[in-house]
Chain A
Amino acid sequence: MEISLIDAAAQGFLNILHLHVFLAMLVGVSIGTFTAVAPQGLGMPLVYAIMLPVVIRWEPVTGIALLIGASSVSAVCAAYLPVLFGIPGGAGSQATILDGYPMGQRGEARRALGASFMAGGMGALIGTFTLALAIPAARPLIYLMGSPELFVVVLWGLSMVAVLAGRRPLKGLIAAAFGLLLATIGQQEQSGIMRYVFDEPYLLDGISISIIALALFGIPAALDLALKRLGVDQQPAPLTGKLFDGVKDTLREWWLVVRCSFIGVWVGIVPGIGSQVVDWLAYGHAAQSSKDGGAAFGTGDVRGVIAPESANDAKDGGDLVTTLLLGFPQGVVTALFIVALLAWGYLPGPEMLKKSPELVYSVVWIQGISAIIGTMVGFVLANQLAKLAQVRYSIMVPIIFLFVLMGSFSVTRDAADLLTLVVFGIVGYFMRRFGYPRPAMILGLVLGSLMERYLYRSMASYGFSWLTRPAVVVLLLLAATSFFFAVRGRMKTMPKSAASGGPALAG
């Protein structure tokens, strides 16, 4: 007998009101928090792969509580590495470095962490709320986006180089072009041609974006501290801001949180875009849409923390929309979640929604409650974590190097990863020194392969006729308008911000 969605939502909630379910959720939240706070190397895919053989023996709701509890908070707590050490906290938290790290260096680590946890928690709740609402109507949204539309969206994303280039548009273009060039390394999907591989197995799949991001941001941060601060000033700036300041900032910027959360949800729902883009899209949107043309972004503007963190956390809700309602996983973690559902006898997709809607809503409830618990845990930890910002530079520098080395080696566990790290660390150092914006290069690298893929697919399937598709036309107009206003805003504010605008962006 089929039940209404409201009854299913109520039943889904009742299903989680058991002590063992709550305990499993708390264990999951603890694991997720540890995964986010621990040094790089223990990613959520590996955690899922380890937990899966255990949880598939449990009854479904308890198992779901553990899995979703872990994955829903791992993004909430991911900001501490970017804020305190200037190194990426994983895919989806890279853009947080741009403003989070300068805030940390100014002694505002508590404020930055408060903003990131609050924005993350709000983003996660918006994502969950969207998931609940999307259950009856997600399918048309997914089928609206074909390769041509995705190409335009990625092109739109690349236009954000104009923002990320700071005061040096030419250097921004050069950096983005270098990123695009790096994205071509490896076997080309469409032709099978090996590009810049030199018969070297290490390069067959291209160079990992995670390693390049760690090298570009982590190594220069550590070198900068080592060269400039160790000999002169042993103590970093004292902690000034409060955790609650960040909360207030986030509440004041609630509309930005909502917009960026929807960007996150949308990236989560649409198959193929991926988590490595979400923070950059949100960051670019925040900078483009700010009244000052984004001039303060990159100098420690709290909006530069709020935007990527809210989008990154909201994305999980979007991921689940596609995973639960269509059975399409958006990444390794959701793919493993589907494996667990199959093991329990559920086939994710329309059939599951029809036959077991209460289980779908149990997932929604668990996702929402875990996000709230995760945010609270984040607040509790934040004050303690923020104290790391006061660690003497002579201790901080080796810690950063250790994290960066562990993070890079964990990607493929190949000794060549360390060589790549050193090479791109040097590249990053000189880019920073000579004012070439590293974010623009990362954006080129992340979006390069996506652009190539979607353009090829569009041309192969539709020829040039894809340019006349209504959704493509609308998106192109939106992208052009957004680009125009961003450039105009930047030109207006350029003289005023010439002295201080965007050092982090510029380098």
Chain B
Amino acid sequence: MLKKCKMKSRIKIALFSGALIALLPNISYSQENFYAGKTVTLVATTAPGGTGDLRVRGMAPFFNKYLPGNPTVVIEYISGGGGRKGANHLYNNVRPDGLTIGAMSGGVVGLAMMGEIGVKYDPAKFIYLGTPHHINHAVIYTRADLGLNTVEKLRARPGIRIGGQEIGHVSYTAGRLLAYFLDMKDPKFIVGYSSREVDVALMTGELDGRANSPTSALRRNPEWLEKGIMNWHAILEAPKGKTFPRLEHLPEIETFTRTAGEKRLLSLWRSLRSVGSPYILPPGTSKEIVQTLSAAMVKIFKDPAFPPYYQKLVAEEVSPLNADELTKIVTETPRDEETLSLLKKFAGAGSLPSR
């Protein structure tokens, strides 16, 4: 009797296991089935053309390659407001069905945290899939003919004219942070230039210095370092500790901080910059879809064909972060009011706060 019962329960277990095994391929099949023949839209918060667009185009064919079922991948451009328009659209209008993915500019997180106008989304509720790059250093330099080849000389010279794009732009805020920690005397921040126009204005003597991404600066004007046309003063690493080749000799700006509050300010800045160009999903997307898309991102980043393709197209090094790493950065970004309001002062137009 006991044997019979054992036999029956074994048969039940076997049948159950068989059914489970039979079902497993169906689950993966259903994933494949879900995307097969469908169109995935990447909502880019940039205008067609330009580096932001190329970053998305550098990823698009790999989404097609690694999403199960190889769906068609198209790009929809919703530019404006430094990414706010696209983020608002993704948060408020897009169905969380896994067929629309946000290809955001990194600013969308910072703009929301600093309470800028026009933000109608909560970055904490977005689902982060990863980013193809997250290293965003900034370096400050002045014209060599000014003779400011030491930090002391830089500090002694009043009214240095630092060029930038616009109030609140990444390189403008980075420039103000660098000038602040270097104790520059009454620096003048002059905006309204395109990035390349700042270079021209430096060469004509209209401006004295600027802050810029070291990658862009040295790609465009390698002779500025090689021939000593500019004096290079300090670097603001984001993330900290990833030194920039050829500029390892520069002091990292944190070495000039004096208080814990100043360190927190830099930490906040580094976090916001390390978000890179995140791929995100609207809140409410099912876990199954999130897992599928996160797995596809991991495969993209592991594909040896991805870095050379992306680098060739965007002229920028790949430094990917997966979903967990990116989510960690966003969730662990310091959000204390004091630090946020201090950062707002650097992103704004007023004079620099006193130390």
Which residues of chain A have a CB within 8 Å of any CB of chain B? 43, 45-46, 48-49, 52-53, 56, 142-143, 146-147, 187-194, 197, 199-202, 204-205, 271-272, 326-329, 332-333, 335-336, 339, 342-343, 347, 349-351, 412-414, 453, 456-457, 460-462
A205 touches B80 (CB 8 A): yes
- Binary contact track B186-211/A, C-beta < 8 Å → 1, others 0: 00101111101101110110110000
* CB under 8 Å from chain A, chain B span 17-68: 47-51, 53-54, 57, 61
B196 touches A271 (CB 8 A): yes
A49 touches B54 (CB 8 A): yes
Q: Jot down 18 A-B pairs with beta carbons below 8 A, ordered by A.
A: A56-B313, A143-B203, A189-B166, A189-B167, A189-B191, A190-B166, A197-B118, A201-B80, A202-B85, A204-B82, A271-B194, A336-B49, A342-B219, A343-B313, A412-B79, A412-B85, A460-B188, A461-B161
Q: Which 6 A-B pairs have the closest CB atoms?
A: A192-B167, A45-B49, A332-B49, A201-B118, A204-B81, A46-B48
Which residues of chain B have a CB within 8 Å of any CB of chain A? 47-51, 53-54, 57, 61, 76-82, 84-85, 88, 117-118, 120, 161, 165-168, 188, 190-194, 196-197, 199-201, 203-204, 206-207, 219-223, 312-315, 348-349
Contacts of B188 in A (CB 8 A): 460
Pick from B51, B84, B201: contact of A201, CB under 8 Å: B84
Using A146-B201, A199-B117, A271-B200 as known contacts, say yes or no to A45 and B80 having CB atoms under 8 A apart.
no
Contacts of B191 in A (CB 8 A): 189-190
A143 touches B117 (CB 8 A): no
Using A146-B204, A335-B49 as known contacts, say yes or no to A271 and B197 having CB atoms under 8 A apart.
yes
CB distance from B111 to the nearest CB of A (A): 10
B200 touches A147 (CB 8 A): no
A412 touches B50 (CB 8 A): no
Q: Is the interface of B mostly helix, strand, loop or mixed?
A: mixed
Contacts of A205 in B (CB 8 A): 80-81
In the complex, residue of chain B having the shortest beta-carbon distance to the beta carbon of A148: B206
In the complex, residue of chain A having the shortest beta-carbon distance to the beta carbon of B60: A53
Interchain CA distance A456-B188 in the complex, whole Å = 13
In the complex, residue of chain B having the shortest beta-carbon distance to the beta carbon of A191: B349
Using A49-B54, A332-B49, A460-B190 as known contacts, say yes or no to A147 and B206 having CB atoms under 8 A apart.
yes
Contacts of A460 in B (CB 8 A): 161, 188, 190
B48 touches A413 (CB 8 A): no
A49 touches B201 (CB 8 A): no
CB distance from B303 to the nearest CB of A (A): 15
Contacts of B82 in A (CB 8 A): 204
CB distance from B350 to the nearest CB of A (A): 9
Interchain CA distance A457-B194 in the complex, whole Å = 12
B76 touches A413 (CB 8 A): yes
In the complex, residue of chain B having the shortest beta-carbon distance to the beta carbon of A272: B197
CB distance from A92 to the nearest CB of B (A): 16
Using A43-B48, A199-B117, A349-B220 as known contacts, say yes or no to A190 and B204 having CB atoms under 8 A apart.
no
In the complex, residue of chain B having the shortest beta-carbon distance to the beta carbon of A449: B192
Pick from A201, A327, A462: contact of B88, CB under 8 Å: A201
Contacts of A43 in B (CB 8 A): 48
Contacts of B204 in A (CB 8 A): 143, 146
Contacts of A336 in B (CB 8 A): 49-50, 54
B192 touches A456 (CB 8 A): yes
Contacts of B348 in A (CB 8 A): 192
Interchain CA distance A461-B223 in the complex, whole Å = 25
In the complex, residue of chain B having the shortest beta-carbon distance to the beta carbon of A144: B204
Pick from B77, B161, B219: contact of A347, CB under 8 Å: B219
A52 touches B81 (CB 8 A): no
A329 touches B196 (CB 8 A): yes
Using A190-B167, A332-B49 as known contacts, say yes or no to A347 and B222 having CB atoms under 8 A apart.
yes
Interchain CA distance A349-B190 in the complex, whole Å = 26
Using A46-B49, A336-B49 as known contacts, say yes or no to A343 and B200 having CB atoms under 8 A apart.
no
CB distance from B57 to the nearest CB of A (A): 6
Using A45-B49, A189-B167, A414-B78 as known contacts, say yes or no to A200 and B118 having CB atoms under 8 A apart.
yes
B50 touches A453 (CB 8 A): no
Contacts of A462 in B (CB 8 A): 206
In the complex, residue of chain B having the shortest beta-carbon distance to the beta carbon of A200: B118
Contacts of A197 in B (CB 8 A): 117-118
Pick from A190, A343, A414: contact of B85, CB under 8 Å: A414
Contacts of A146 in B (CB 8 A): 201, 204, 206
CB distance from A63 to the nearest CB of B (A): 12
In the complex, residue of chain A having the shortest beta-carbon distance to the beta carbon of B347: A192
Contacts of B78 in A (CB 8 A): 412-414
Interchain CA distance A456-B163 in the complex, whole Å = 12
A332 touches B315 (CB 8 A): no
A343 touches B81 (CB 8 A): no
Interchain CA distance A194-B81 in the complex, whole Å = 11
Contacts of B207 in A (CB 8 A): 461
CB distance from A41 to the nearest CB of B (A): 11
Interchain CA distance A271-B77 in the complex, whole Å = 27
Interchain CA distance A53-B166 in the complex, whole Å = 31
Pick from A52, A193, A329, A351: contact of B313, CB under 8 Å: A52
Interchain CA distance A234-B200 in the complex, whole Å = 56
Contacts of B77 in A (CB 8 A): 412-413
A328 touches B199 (CB 8 A): yes
Interchain CA distance A64-B79 in the complex, whole Å = 28
CB distance from A194 to the nearest CB of B (A): 6
A53 touches B57 (CB 8 A): yes
CB distance from A50 to the nearest CB of B (A): 8
Interchain CA distance A335-B216 in the complex, whole Å = 13
Contacts of B118 in A (CB 8 A): 197, 199-201, 204
A453 touches B196 (CB 8 A): no
